[in-house]
Structure 1
Amino acid sequence: MKIGILQTGHAPDELKPTSGNYDAMFRKLLAGHGFSFDTYPVLDGVFPEGAEAADGWLITGSKHGAYEDHDWIPPLEDLIRQIHARKMPLVGICFGHQIIAQALGGKVEKFSGGWSVGHTQYRLHGAPVELNAWHQDQVVTRPAEARVIGESDFCANAFLAYGDHIWTSQPHPEFENTFVDGLLRTRGKGVVPDAQLNAAEASLDRPTDSTQIAQEIADFFKKVRT
């Protein structure tokens, strides 16, 4: 099964030698499940010919806001709607989670409650999971057809599903603790409040449930759909 990765951001240059770019993190996260991958750095204007270029799609995170004025965002939203209309499997993570909601009629904005950074506890399908987060933006109004499958006290729309063909997550299952440590140093200081940075740093020795989420994403892609 070929997964097309729609890359909407780049990892900090200082971290790429050890962690790789965003597409590489997903290739690592989903390794061993029998997928092949093609990457389309859409933020650099590189798009697939259409929705049929892959069997399933994944949209990465980004430092950009879904509501920002960038030339690549309208065609990405058009592609999302094409994928949705064909009921092809689509996964969105962080920015991907947000841009899918926006493209399908939801609203994304900077959350008045501030940032979520580092290890964060969620309830997914009613069970606790812990994943790394890095966001201030949130889906504040979900599309009419979206249903909540996971949340936290801080993020009411943390995991969304649309029918049986779209699965999205606000937190980052692909972010390992070492990468978050790098983000704290390269993108956190002066942006995220110091108290949150310190708390995130103190929790970096705790494991996450990324392997569990990787299995859920793999099962989602492989699901037989009529």
Structure 2
Amino acid sequence: MKIGILQTGHAPDELRPTIGDINNLFERLLNGQGFTFETFAVVDGDFPEGPDVCDGWLITGSKHGAYEDLPWIAPLETLIRDIYSTARPLVGICFGHQIIAQALGGKVEKYDGGWAVGRQTYDWQGDQVYLNAWHQDQVVQRPADSTPIASNAFCENAALVYGDRIFTVQAHPEFDATFIDGLISARAGTVPPALIETAKNNLTKDVDNAQLATKIGAFFKGAKP
């Protein structure tokens, strides 16, 4: 099964030589589940010819906001709607979670409650799930045909499903402690120091990346999240 990675951002320059770029994180996350990958750097204007190019699609995180006036945002929203109409499975992570909601009638904005940085706890259909996050923007109004399946006190719409077609997550199952530590060094300037300190203290605690990788892989193969 071929998964098209719609890359909407790049890893910090300081991290790429050792960790790779954003698309490489997802290739490693989903490794061993029988997928092949093709990356389209939509952030740089590289788009697929259409939704039929791949069997499933994944939209990555980004430092940009879904609401920004950037030349690639509107074409990406069109592609999202086209993928949805073909019923090919679509996964969105962080920015991907947000841009999919926006493209399908939801609302994304810079959350006035501040930032979520590092290890977070989510109520996932009655279970506690721990994932790394790095965001201030949120889906504050979800599309009518979406259903929330995870939340916490900070982020009401932490994971959404759209029937059996779309599965999106606000957190970053592709981010491990090494990557979060790198982000703290490279992009912590606008984050309150207390949140950064808490994120540093949580670097050694376990997260459920493998569990989410299994959920994403199963979704691509036809299972509901």
Return the alpha-carbon distance in structure 2 between the equivalents of residues 62 and 175 of structure 1: 13
Q: 1:195 and 2:194 equivalent?
A: yes
Q: 1:221 and 2:224 equivalent?
A: no
Q: Residue type matched to 1:115 in 2?
A: W
Q: Residue type matched to 1:199 in 2?
A: T
Return the alpha-carbon distance in structure 1 between the equivalents of residues 223 and 31 of structure 2: 20
Other-structure match for 1:37: 37
Q: Residue type matched to 1:206 in 2?
A: K
Task: Note the C-alpha offset of 1:223.
Answer: 1.0
Q: 1:148 and 2:148 equivalent?
A: yes
Task: Note the C-alpha offset of 1:114.
Answer: 0.2
Other-structure match for 1:113: 113
Return the alpha-carbon distance in structure 2 between the equivalents of residues 17 and 51 of structure 1: 31
Other-structure match for 2:99: 99
Return the alpha-carbon distance in structure 2 between the equivalents of residues 16 and 210 of structure 1: 20
Return the alpha-carbon distance in structure 2 between the equivalents of residues 84 and 126 of structure 1: 28
Task: Note the C-alpha offset of 1:125.
Answer: 2.1
1:1-226 map, 5 Å = 1-188=1-188, 190-223=189-222
Q: Residue type matched to 2:5 in 1?
A: I
Task: Note the C-alpha offset of 1:198.
Answer: 0.5
Residue deviations 1:142-174 (CA, integer Å, cap 9, x gap):
000010011111100000000101000000000
Return the alpha-carbon distance in structure 2 between the equivalents of residues 39 and 126 of structure 1: 35
Q: CA RMSD in A?
A: 0.9
Return the alpha-carbon distance in structure 2 between the equivalents of residues 33 and 49 of structure 1: 26
Residue deviations 1:78-131 (CA, integer Å, cap 9, x gap):
000000111110000000000000000000000010000000000112210000
Length-normalised TM-score, structure 2: 0.98
Return the alpha-carbon distance in structure 2 between the equivalents of residues 43 and 183 of structure 1: 19
Task: Note the C-alpha offset of 1:224.
Answer: 6.6
Return the alpha-carbon distance in structure 1 between the equivalents of residues 146 and 57 of structure 2: 18
Return the alpha-carbon distance in structure 2 between the equivalents of residues 126 and 71 of structure 1: 40
Return the alpha-carbon distance in structure 2 between the equivalents of residues 6 and 39 of structure 1: 6
Tell me, what secondary structure is at the counterpart of 2:207? coil
Would you identify which runs of 4 or more consecutive aligned residues in structure 1 move more than 4 Å? none
Tell me, what secondary structure is at the counterpart of 1:150? strand
Return the alpha-carbon distance in structure 1 between the equivalents of residues 113 and 42 of structure 2: 30
What is the total number of aligned residue pairs between the two structures?
A: 224
Return the alpha-carbon distance in structure 2 between the equivalents of residues 63 and 113 of structure 1: 18
Return the alpha-carbon distance in structure 2 between the equivalents of residues 20 and 127 of structure 1: 32
Q: Residue type matched to 1:32 in 2?
A: G
Length-normalised TM-score, structure 1: 0.98
Q: Residue type matched to 2:53 in 1?
A: A
Return the alpha-carbon distance in structure 2 between the equivalents of residues 89 and 153 of structure 1: 29
Tell me, what secondary structure is at the counterpart of 2:109? strand
Q: Residue type matched to 2:116 in 1?
A: S
Q: Give the percent of matched residue pairs that are identical in Structure 1 and Structure 2.
A: 60
Residue deviations 1:8-29 (CA, integer Å, cap 9, x gap):
0000010012211000000000
**Structure-2 change in CA distance of 1:224 and 1:129 (3 Å):** closer
